[in-house]
Amino acid sequence: MINESDELKEEYERLSHPPAEAQVDFGITEAVEDGKVKDIHCLVMSFPYSNGGLAVPLPSENQECFLEGLKVLFKQAGFVPRKLRLDNLSAAVVKARSRGEETIFTDAFRQFSMHYGFEAQACNPRKGNEKGHVENKVGYVRYNFFTPSPVIKDLEHLRSLLFDQCKKDHQRLHYKKDLIIADLLEEEKKYGLALPDSEYPVFKQSTVIANKYGEVRIDGALIHVPKSYHYGKLHLILYWDDYKVVSYNGETLSKGPRLYMNKTREIPWGSILKGWRRKPRSIVYSRYFPYLPGRIAYYLNIESMKLRKERVEWLLSLITTHEMQEIDENFYDLLPEEKRFDSSLDTSTNHPYDVDWRVYDSLQPTVKESVHHG
C-alpha cells in the first residue's frame, strides 16, 4: 500500500555533467581582521565534471560584487565555462522562470554573459538540487578553509589565501574517477571558452541630486561631496569596491571606498580650503574644522578675517604637494620666514602674524582633544 505522502514526494534525477560546465553560489563565512570577526561573502564556482572549485571573497552580494567575482573566478580557472548554472540571485535575475515563461536576467548580467560568451542557466524556483554540486562545495570551502577563522589583513590577502588553498585542494584524487582534480580541470579547459582580450568593465551608474548641505546618498549613507550643491544633477558611478561622483561636464567631485569596504576616505582638503577662502568666517564652524591637525587648527583660529584668508592661501599653496598631516608635522619648516614670529621676542609689538606658540604648547593636549573629538 502506498501512502499519500509518498505519492507527493518528488524523486530527484541524477544529472550528468559534461566538461566545462560550472555552477556558482554565494556562501557567508567568517574571518578575523584587526582583531574583530568579520562576515565574508564568498562566491564559489564549482566544476561538477572534475570536482574542482574556486572561491573569491567579496564585501557584498550586490550586482557589482557578483560580476567582479565572476571575472576573478574565470581568470583563476584560466577559461570561461560554456554553461554557468546559478540560483535566482537578485544580482543576475529579474524574474525567475515560471510555467510557460523563461528566466528574465538583468541587463547588466545579460551583457556580461554576452561579453564572455557563456550560456547562463538559472535554476527552477525551489529546485536546489539543480545546483547541488556548488552547494556542497560552499560547505566544503567553509568547513575546510575557514575552520578556524583565518586571520587576514584585508580582502586582497584573503583572496590570495583562498586561491592557494583551492590550488592545493586540486591535488587530491577525484572521489570516483581516481584521477587528480587538477588534471581533470586541465582537461576541462580544452572544452572551455578562451578568456576575452579585454575584461568587462563592471560598474553601475545612476543620477543623483545633492541636498542643500552638499550631501549625496551613497549605499544608504549621506556623504558630503564638495561643490555638489552648485550642480543640478550628478552622475554616481558605483564599482564593486569604490564610488565616484561626477558632474555632467565630467568633473570628478568626489571618490572613495564604498562603506562596506570599512576603509577610511581621504578628506578633500583642496576643495574645502577653496570654500574657506571664499567664506573665512565659516572656518571654525565647518564640519571639517575638528579634523584639522592641532597646529593648523590653532593657526587658523584667529579673529582677523584678512589673516584667515592669507593663512588659507598658504595652506592651498602646499596642499597639492603635501598631506595635511605632513604640513602639521613640518609646520615650522614650511612656514615662510616673514610669518615665523614668536611673541616672546617682542611683547611690545602687536605683530600681524603673531602666534604665541608657548600658549599653543601649554594648551596642546586640550586643543588636540577638541580637534579630534569635536
Is pLDDT above 90 for 167? yes
Residues 242 and 165 in one domain: no
Q: Are 20 and 107 contained in the same domain? A: yes
Of the pLDDT bands very low, low, confident and very high (cuts 50, 70, 90), residue 194 is very high
Cβ pair 26, 42 in contact under 8 A? yes
The reported pLDDT for the residue numbered 369 is 43
Residue pair 113/119 in contact (Cβ under 8 Å)? The answer is yes
Is there a domain that residue 21 lies in?
Answer: yes
Distance (Å, whole) CA 289 – CA 184: 61
> What stretch of H or E contains 207?
strand 204-208
Domain presence at residue 6: no
pLDDT at 9: 47
Nearest by Cα to 227 from 272, 285, 182: 272
How far apart (Å, rounded) are the C-alpha atoms in residues 326 and 318?
Answer: 10
Residue 283 belongs to what domain range? 269-373
Q: Give the model confidence (pLDDT) of 124-159 as tens digits.
A: 766 656 678 999 999 999 999 998 888 899 999 999
| Residues 21 and 152 both lie in one domain | yes
Mean pLDDT, the chain, rounded, equals 84
Query: Does 92 lie in the same domain as 69?
Result: yes
Q: Which pLDDT score, from 0 to 100, does residue 262 have?
A: 78
- Residues 27 and 175 reside in one and the same domain: yes
**pTM score:** 0.73
Residues 31 and 163 grouped into a single domain: yes
Q: Are residues 215 and 293 in the same domain?
A: no
Indicate if 54 and 172 belong to the same structural domain: yes
At residue 370, the pLDDT reads 41
Q: What is the pLDDT of residues 26-62, one digit of tens each?
A: 999 988 888 788 889 999 999 999 999 999 999 999 9
- Classify residue 179: in a domain, yes or no: yes
Q: Are residues 176 and 292 in the same domain?
A: no
Over 60: is that where the pLDDT of 319 sits?
Answer: yes
Res. 362: pLDDT tops 90:
no
Report yes or no on 4 lying in a domain. Answer: no
In tens, the pLDDT along 271-304 reads 889 989 999 999 998 888 888 888 899 899 989 9
Do residues 115 and 196 touch, judged by C-beta distance below 8 A? yes
94-106: pLDDT as tens digits: 988 877 788 899 9
3-state SS, residue 34: coil
SS3 of residue 150 by DSSP: coil
- pLDDT surpasses 70 at 359: no
Q: Is residue 3 part of a domain?
A: no
Q: Which of 35-39, 54-58, 85-89, 198-202 has the lowest mean pLDDT?
A: 35-39
What is the C-alpha separation between 15 and 21, in angstroms, rounded?
A: 12
From 169, 191, 213, give the residue that closes a domain.
Answer: 191
148: preceding bond cis by omega (within 30 degrees): yes
Domain contains 80: yes
Phi, psi for residue 112 in degrees, rounded to 5: -60, -45
Same domain assignment for residues 364 and 293: yes
User: DSSP assignment of 321-347, as one string?
Assistant: TS-HHHHHHTHHHHS-GGG---TTS-T
CATH number of the domain to which 87 belongs: 3.30.420.10
Q: How many independent structural domains does the chain possess? A: 3
Residues 103 and 86 in one domain: yes
- pLDDT at residue 23 greater than cutoff 90: yes
Is there a domain that residue 197 lies in?
no
Same domain for 344 and 233:
no
CB 297 within 8 A of CB 364: no
Tell me whether residue 7 is in a domain: no
pLDDT tens digits for 224-270? 898 887 888 999 999 999 999 999 889 999 999 999 887 666 788 88
